[in-house]
Chain A
Amino acid sequence: MTAVTTPTRPPRGTSETPDTPAWARWANDHRKWLFAAPAMVFVAALIIFPLAWTGYLSLTDAEGSVRAESEFVGFQNYVEVLSDTDRFWPAVARTAAFTVVALLFEVVLGMAVALLLWRPFRGQKWVRVAILMPLVATPVAVGMMWRLIFDPNIGLANQALGWIGIGPQPWLAGQHSALPTTIFIDVWQWTPMVVLILLAGLTSLSDEPQEAARIDGASAWQRFRHVTLPLVMPTVIVAILLRGIDALKTFDILYATKGRGGGSFHEVETLNVYAYGLSFDYNEYGISSTVLIIFFLIIIGSMWALTSRRKEAQR
């Protein structure tokens, strides 16, 4: 008679010893989702479900109290919002102007500073520390700081203009100068972000193409334009992508410097500020949800356009 020893369980890989408890074995086999599920559930509960609800609210006439009854009105809000040339379209124009102008300055200045910091030199560490400071400063505090500096009567900005013989400017208080001034603040705070990203990109490049171009007698500008820039282009697009998303959604400095509705003439009322005001200053939940859905589509659209550019640049 042959004694048949049946294994208590079929071997499941090399890693399990027979004394592993059953629950541990189960956990091990299902670790992929066991690890990912809590975060995914959180995201679903707090992001996907609310987003779907915003989509639903945009089709209703919800307003006033959050407990009030609301009725389904179809695409009426969309018609209303898209034909609103008083607040909605000016807000779209301001959002576009703010984002495009701020990005332009941030990328050009950011590239210039990143190129200056590219090659190691003494004291570089301290410059990098200085660059980090605006970046981590609390945006609301930054807004308040610039409010003092740009104050038409007591601010440093007008004092400095006085030293070089230029008359005082209204800055944030002016109907036409407020938006450019907030763009300046955004450039001050976020150009450092572009510098850090581009610097990471530049540092990862190999020296050989540069050296080859130098030996071939290319000037500094030619080397930048035809060697460095094409190589670092994917990183430039990442910087534009990351910064662009945040610039489109800028809220803190606009609300801190101009308050509700982007100032008394809505001078700095971007889509985000407009939607916030509709929701929490006027409780127009239906209309605000419509604005937000359109805003969301604008963001997704711009991102998609940029990522396809990035794929081209990498080729």
Chain B
Amino acid sequence: MRSRPAYRVFRVVALTIVVIALLAPLLWMVAASFKTNVDIYDTGKALVFSPTLDNYANVLEQANYVQFIGNSLWVAFAATALSLVLGIPAAYSMSRFNMKKSALVVLMARVIPGVSLLVPWYYVFSNLKMVGGFTVLILSHMFVSLPLVVYIMMGYFDSLPLELEEAALVDGLTHIGAFRKITLPLSIPGVATAGILSFIFSWNNFMFALVLSGADTKTLPVAIFDFVGYASIDWGGLMAAASVVTLPIMLIALFVQKYVVSGLTAGATKG
């Protein structure tokens, strides 16, 4: 369908405004992370300033951010890996045997407010002296990532033709063999989508780590929150810390855009 020139001009203008509105705040954050606090307070130096790496140096050296980055990576990787291991076979069963009720139970996790689980978790795990350890943190992040994996993979398995598996059975493979040798290799794009989404959501998670992490297991979002003390805010340092957590995830999204979008919109157009 061809569009009229007037509409095309309008589209360019409107979308330019949209893109600026979405990106300018993020660029402002990154710019502030390269400013001294004096420059941040000087409104005349909003755009023209001499960049400095001091904020990043402070954050990475003094505030133990290297450790927090490591914690965030470990928790996100472990939660994602475990969710894939548990979630992919479950999604396969739920797709092939049409287990609607079981699927609904797993998807309930998306609906339940996290706080209502945190209270009992806190009860149990602090009595087991596990609060502050990685195990609890990883388990809690799986609460977010496992339903995501099941949801995305169910949609993916639903879309694969059954004929391929049936052909494999005729060729002498068992059902599990057909899953392992035929279906799973065909599902790599779906697995990638589920894995990337699960990683992003775990990396960004704040509330569970706020309650369940300790001084040594703190993840980046909690570390950023703790950056704001009672004294005046070190804006340069805060923006550097915020950039440290945000930029890697935005870079990932930039390179694997297709997967992120298909994961976020999974199931949205189905009945």
Interface residues of A (CB under 8 A from B): 13-17, 20, 24, 27-28, 31-36, 38-40, 42-43, 46-51, 53-54, 57, 66-67, 112-113, 116-117, 119, 121, 126-142, 144-149, 154, 156, 159, 188, 192-193, 196-197, 199-201, 204, 207, 210-211, 234-235, 238-239, 242, 245, 249, 251-252, 255-256, 259, 272, 275-276, 279-280, 285, 288-289, 292-293, 295-296, 299-300, 303, 314
Contact = CB atoms under 8 A, between A and B. Distances in A.
A136 B207 contact: no
B113 interface: yes
A263 to B, nearest CB: 14
A299 B22 contact: no
A115 B241 CA distance: 36
Among A53, A117, A193, max chain B CB count under 10 A is at A53
Contacts of A147: 233
Interface string B233-271: 101001101110110011011100100110011001101
A17 B172 CA distance: 7
Given A15-B173, A46-B139, A136-B260, A54 B120 contact: yes
Contact of B269 (A48, A66, A200, A256): A200
Contacts of A117: 15
A235 B269 contact: yes
A47 B108 CA distance: 9
A239 B200 contact: no
Nearest to B174: A28
A243 to B, nearest CB: 11
Main secondary structure of the interface of A (DSSP, over half): helix
Contacts of A314: 271
A36 B89 contact: yes
A228 to B, nearest CB: 12
6 contacts: A31-B93, A50-B121, A137-B249, A144-B227, A159-B46, A188-B25
Contacts of A34: 89
A234 B117 CA distance: 31
A43 B225 contact: no
Interface residues of B, number: 102
Contact of B238 (A148, A251, A289): A148
A135 to B, nearest CB: 7
A43 B111 contact: no
B126 to A, nearest CB: 5
Given A35-B89, A196-B264, A201-B269, A159 B221 contact: no
B268 A197 contact: yes
A-B complex: 4 closest residue pairs judged by Cβ atoms? A39-B90, A50-B120, A35-B89, A141-B242
A136 B249 contact: yes
Given A15-B169, A67-B127, A196-B261, A131 B238 contact: no
A210 B142 CA distance: 44
Contacts of A276: 115, 118, 207
Interface stretch (B50-58, B62-70, B97-105): B97-105
